[in-house]
Amino acid sequence: MKERLSREVVAMRIAKELFDGAVVNLGIGLPTLVSSFVPEGMTVIYHTENGALGFGPVVTAEDMEEKADIDLVNASGQYVTPLPGMCFFHHADSFAMIRGGHIDITILGVLEVSEKGDLANWMFPGRGVGNIGGGMDLAFNAKKVIAATEHTTKDGKPKIVSKCSVPLTAPECVDLIVTDVAVIEVTGEGLLLREVAPGWTAEEVQDLTEPKLLIDSDLTEIEL
Amino acid sequence: MLNKVVETFEKAVADVPDGAVIMIGNFAGPGGTPFYLIRALCQQGAKELTIIANTAGGIGLTLDFDDHRILFENRQVKKVIASFPFSTSPSRPSPAEKQILAGEVELEILPQGTLAERIRAGGAGIPAFYTPTGFGTVIEDGKETRDFDGRPCLLELALKADYAFVRAYKADTMGNLVYRGTQRQFNPIMATAARVTIAEVDEIVDAGELDPEVIITPGIYVNRMVKVTEDPSFPRNLDRVFWAKRT
């Protein structure tokens, strides 16, 4: 088995998509890691569904006693820290920001993503139930949707599929897929393989992907 | 003379009838949850309730504290309208999850923004609105659709309630409310969308003591207020260190 990128490296690659002043909403899991890799000197304004903008990093275990405040949490219920310029608002305003197109980038986890950019990520695998939460509004309405995921399931099945087999979060919403072996852009013509992990070939990535990939003429190795 | 202050949580919820529709402020942590009103309703015992809240309680995202989970445990709920109804931990299903899967409680699951906007619309006298969120997913089922600027949208109806239980930081005697941090979440919109809004607050001050520029919920939306007297035995399982931070 070829070596795949760690979750941290995937998060570092996604962080390259951020820009100065970007308003960003991070989903639960791997996406949350991205905030650790924002380039120095760049201001990223984080949005959370429960009504805050411009807050700082998650409170670490060592700082819990000192800094945890039940009235300062992100959408995962994690304690976050205040930053100068932070502001609060209610839930309807929070989703007016999302629905109104004021969120530049959202980074969401994946159960399946299709060749058209359909995203499925809300139904728990094998439980027949799930939580929609804020992910559906984000997937439909953020200006750019980045899907962050392992390329295959724990059983080695492709997560990038021709057609999603589980209930959709949103159809044709994903712009960019960043996995532990590749960076793939969703285009009108199909999925365009733009970058591969060091040591991987386009054919090897294709073998782990259900739909046919288009290969970028400028195919490069993922750089951080 | 106008007096909205009620002495006890028990009195504040005494008239909630069986079959009432109740909005409860709630998100992914203990902040902004009206624990004491929920407990009083649990003791009061009204049944066949419809609960409108972000979660169905007991999801254990951060701390395994008491919230509206206890209304499900006590078999008081007939229906729940929520965006995040299930426990994220399969080994710890919430009481609501068990009752939903057994067909004992009806679930209406919604995207969180649609839930919030339906509540806002309910308070604002807007009977319905269109949103793109949910088109082409299970959320579309049975809903009217219409294209705007080439984008398909769903018609979503306003939500109203008989009661809203909200949590705020400070109130004045007029019922004006201010919140603290992310405690705000659904509370201000729920306060507008119910026939009777009951606020659970840390402190009640005289009219004039809150800066009018920072009031979030105007007092006309609030019918009753109860001041929290800290009960060290409640909510159960909530880490006291964090709870104490707020005062």
> pLDDT digits over A145-204, tens only?
999 999 999 999 999 999 999 999 999 999 999 999 999 999 999 999 999 999 999 999
Cα–Cα distance measured from residue B225 to residue A79, given in angstroms and rounded to the nearest whole number: 28
Taking residues B158-164, report their average pLDDT.
Answer: 98
Provide the pLDDT for residue B247: 41
On whether any CB of chain A is under 8 Å from the CB of B156, the answer is no
* pLDDT class of B61 with cuts at 50, 70, 90: low
Compare B243 and A22 and report the one with higher pLDDT: A22
Question: Does ipTM surpass 0.85 in this model?
Answer: yes
CA distance B40 to chain A (A): 22
Q: Which CATH number is correct for B9-126+160-244, 3.30.70.1380, 3.40.1080.10, 3.40.50.10280, 3.40.47.10? A: 3.40.1080.10
Is A34 a domain residue?
A: yes
Is A78 a domain residue?
A: no
What is the rounded (10 degree) CA torsion for A128, B71, A93, B157? Answer: 70
At A135, which CATH number? 3.40.1080.10
Active site residue A204: no
Average pLDDT, chain B: 92
Q: Decide the pairing of beta strands B151-157 and A45-48.
A: unpaired
Q: Decide the pairing of beta strands B49-52 and B77-82.
A: parallel
> Domain total for chain A?
1
* pLDDT class of A130 with cuts at 50, 70, 90: very high
Provide the pLDDT for residue B92: 82
| Residue ranges making up the domain that contains A174 | 7-49+101-221
> Smallest Cβ distance to B111: which of A64, A69, A136?
A136
Taking residues B5-10, report their average pLDDT.
Answer: 97
Backbone angles phi, psi at B99, to 5 degrees: -75, -35
**Residue B231 in this model has a pLDDT that exceeds 90:** no
Compare B170 and B93 and report the one with higher pLDDT: B170
Is A32 a domain residue?
A: yes
Give pLDDT tens digits for B99-129.
999 999 999 999 999 999 999 999 999 999 9
**Residue A102 in this model has a pLDDT that exceeds 50:** yes
Is A57 a domain residue?
A: no
Do A117 and A165 touch, CB atoms closer than 8 A? Answer: no
Percentages helix, strand, coil for chain B, rounded to the nearest 5? 25, 25, 50
Cβ contact (<8 Å) for A132 and B139?
yes
On whether any CB of chain B is under 8 Å from the CB of A66, the answer is no
**Residue B218 in this model has a pLDDT that exceeds 60:** yes
Provide the pLDDT for residue B120: 98
**Residue B145 in this model has a pLDDT that exceeds 90:** yes
